[in-house]
Structure 1
Amino acid sequence: MMHREFVEYARLTRRYLERHRGMIDLPMVFQFPNDCCETTSILFGLVILKINKEADIQIVRSKRHDGKHGRHIWIEIDGSIFDITADQFGLSYQPIYGEPTMPLLEIFKVYEKKTIIEATALNGWLDKLQIFDEVANQIIKLK
């Protein structure tokens, strides 16, 4: 699968979440793009995992290093950054679709990377896997 297709699926995921955020029974998605970076990163990661089992999909956790409180989560696929909720931090930030770096790294410092499988299993998401799976399938059908 080519990088271009990952970008296309990222845009489809974002569009789907914008249109259906109030109807998806996953934590905090009703506020998309605010305060739902972990949920939406896992969802997008599972979309990519379904279409390309060979992709290196990492959930990236970060925290502010400018003295303020806050954390942020995004996804890396084969080393490229995808952050479909970056715009929650203001007008100067836009969603990131497959870039080598991003402006939010000026504010947030990475402290952990886990594969999509590890992140899903270790962080209490197992009870939501059926919903993630159903939503991921709906997103894939949009293409």
Structure 2
Amino acid sequence: MSALPLAAARTGSARAYPQPARPAPAPRPRLRVVRAPAQSRSRVPFVLACMAVLGGALLAALLLNTQVASLAFERYELSNELGRLRQDRMDLVAQLDAKSSPTQLAEAARALGMVEANGTGWLRLADGSVQGAPAPAAG
């Protein structure tokens, strides 16, 4: 038996109605719906990282604030010391001015045993001559 008569019978038989035309296949969509992953990611590492950044920022702010307060206190102390030193300098300058007055100098010289000169003279080194009217001190 041959397969030829069966094939001829298939092609040779005419149908009573025409075969409907197949619609053209629709173009494949560019976007597809994707299912969510089976296991969702945990938010714990992100939350921990945010808390670490926040804690670090708070700690840095605390340290900076403490340092600024310490420096302000030190500046205040140095300012007070500078004021005391300025006042001491002014007192010492006033004492020096009082002691360098002519009356105070004369009293200090008499206390040391010095006497006033009667006259003054100058020695000229170029020729060895004495100028002025020097006189011995009485005392």
TM surpasses 0.5: no
Relative to total residues, which structure has the larger helix share, 1 or 2? Answer: 2
TM, length-normalised to structure 1: 0.15
Higher RCO structure (Cα 8 Å, ≥6 apart): 1
TM, length-normalised to structure 2: 0.15
Larger Rg: 2
